[in-house]
């Protein structure tokens, strides 16, 4: 049986099928306790080593709005947000992620989160007063994949600034869109997050069924989080949305004018996966931030799952522009509940970089073409060519 049985090839070059054409032979135990009802990714708790440098990057350059701040912590939000914050910058000794935080539908969902994770032996900590300012009763866990996950319902409301055009800049960040997590075993991660209630919207596989990455959603967009295959647990990026493509170009222009073009790691471009327009930046600690806009609605129960071939050079950039190696290899540490970095495990499955830009890698623009891509387009699969 082929791994592509049940998938239909589309005229766009990718495959579609129904829910999750992903199987794992090493599953995390499925809890019998029901999962908490997650609404959406809500905020990231990020440790930075130089708070002033981070403030300049996220506030002065990217224009996130300060809800509150003191000498050690800055609470930031995007334009459309009405909960207290979407990003916490916390001064600390090691640049890392302290929590991937999700909002749940009801206060009772926090009891469900405690039961769900306790049943499978995860470390769980609940604080009725919350872990961060402006957020009430919260549950933090070290999830079975090693990620620090947080769940909360209650949040202080703040003013939604959508109508305050006087405060907005050409590159305005309007919403928190998603997280992206690096994990060694993508099918194991997907199965676990499905148990937690996530739906797969897109993935990248090869013809043998190796899964390189998967995108998963609660809110009806392409994702709230994604699992990217690599050494982990690590944080690949946190993504904010702009309204339109031109807002992303304005961020590039601003970085250029400020002589900060070295903050641009990859893009701007059009993703194949998600169909969104994108830009990847690196903050002063190297944390990766994506600016993202215009993916598509995914809320129907029979939303088709899209599978991209790992060798399709339009999967990660629809214009076929090369992915820089750092984007595949570098990511941020994540912390345990004591604030210590989680140990990083090596990915044993095939690596996307090796099969596409390593010595043996290959990619195609038109499947079935016998001719190699022109030398000036080979950055995707011959490492030296893009230098």
Per-residue contact track with Fe ion, 163 to 202, x per CB under 5 A?
-----------------x----------------------
Judged by CB under 5 A, which of 45, 172, 265, 290 binds Fe ion?
290
Smallest distance, Å, CB 34 to Fe ion? 29
Q: How far is CA 259 from CA 264, 266, 267, in A?
A: 11, 17, 17
Q: How far apart (Å, rounded) are the C-alpha atoms in residues 246 and 166?
A: 19
Measured from the CB atom, is 7 or 239 closer to Fe ion? 239
239 binds Fe ion (CB under 5 A): yes
Per-residue contact track with Fe ion, 317 to 356, x per CB under 5 A?
----------------------------------------
Per CB under 5 A, the segment of 145-153, 238-246, 279-287, 296-304 that binds Fe ion is: 238-246
Smallest distance, Å, CB 264 to Fe ion? 15
Smallest distance, Å, CB 197 to Fe ion? 20
Count of residues that interact with Fe ion, criterion CB under 5 A: 3
216 binds Fe ion (CB under 5 A): no
Measured from the CB atom, is 180 or 378 closer to Fe ion? 180
Q: How far apart (Å, rounded) are the C-alpha atoms in residues 51 and 33?
A: 40
222 binds Fe ion (CB under 5 A): no
Measured from the CB atom, is 223 or 382 closer to Fe ion? 223
Measured from the CB atom, is 51 or 281 closer to Fe ion? 281
Measured from the CB atom, is 131 or 327 closer to Fe ion? 327
Per CB under 5 A, the segment of 96-104, 235-243, 323-331, 374-382 that binds Fe ion is: 235-243
Q: Which residues bind Fe ion (CB under 5 A)?
A: 180, 239, 290
């Amino acid at each position: 049986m082929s791994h592509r049985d049940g998938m239909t090839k589309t005229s766009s070059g990718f495959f579609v099928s129904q829910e999750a054409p992903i199987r794992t032979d090493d599953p995390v135990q499925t809890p019998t306790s029901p999962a908490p009802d997650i609404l959406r990714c809500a905020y990231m708790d990020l440790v930075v080593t130089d708070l002033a440098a981070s403030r300049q990057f996220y506030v002065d350059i990217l224009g996130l709005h300060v809800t509150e701040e003191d000498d050690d912590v800055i609470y930031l939000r995007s334009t459309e947000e009405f909960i207290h914050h979407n990003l916490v910058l916390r001064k600390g000794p090691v640049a890392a992620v302290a929590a991937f935080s999700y909002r749940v539908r009801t206060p009772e969902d926090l009891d469900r989160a405690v039961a769900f994770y306790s049943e499978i032996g995860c470390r769980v900590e609940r604080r009725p007063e919350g872990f961060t300012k402006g957020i009430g009763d919260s549950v933090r866990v070290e999830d079975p994949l090693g990620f620090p996950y947080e769940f909360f319902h209650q949040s202080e409301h703040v003013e939604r600034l959508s109508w305050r055009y006087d405060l907005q800049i050409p590159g305005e960040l309007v919403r928190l869109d998603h997280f992206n997590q690096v994990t060694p075993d993508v099918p194991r991660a997907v199965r676990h997050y499905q148990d937690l209630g996530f739906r797969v919207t897109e993935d990248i596989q090869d013809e043998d069924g190796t899964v390189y990455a998967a995108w998963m959603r609660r809110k009806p967009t392409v994702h709230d989080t994604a699992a990217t295959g690599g050494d982990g647990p690590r944080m690949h990026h946190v993504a904010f949305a702009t309204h339109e493509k031109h807002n992303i170009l304005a961020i590039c222009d601003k970085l250029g004018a400020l002589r900060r073009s070295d903050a641009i790691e990859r893009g701007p471009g059009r993703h194949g996966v998600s169909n969104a327009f994108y830009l990847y930046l690196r903050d002063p600690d190297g944390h990766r931030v994506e600016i993202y806009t215009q993916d598509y609605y995914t809320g129907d129960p029979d939303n088709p799952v899209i599978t991209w071939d790992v060798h399709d050079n339009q999967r990660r950039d629809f214009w076929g522009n090369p992915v820089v190696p750092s984007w595949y290899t570098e990511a941020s540490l994540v912390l345990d509940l004591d604030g210590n970095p989680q140990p990083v495990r090596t990915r044993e499955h095939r690596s996307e970089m090796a099969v596409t830009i390593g010595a043996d890698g290959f990619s195609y623009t038109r499947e079935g073409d016998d001719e190699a891509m022109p030398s000036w387009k080979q950055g995707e699969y011959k490492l030296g060519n893009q230098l």
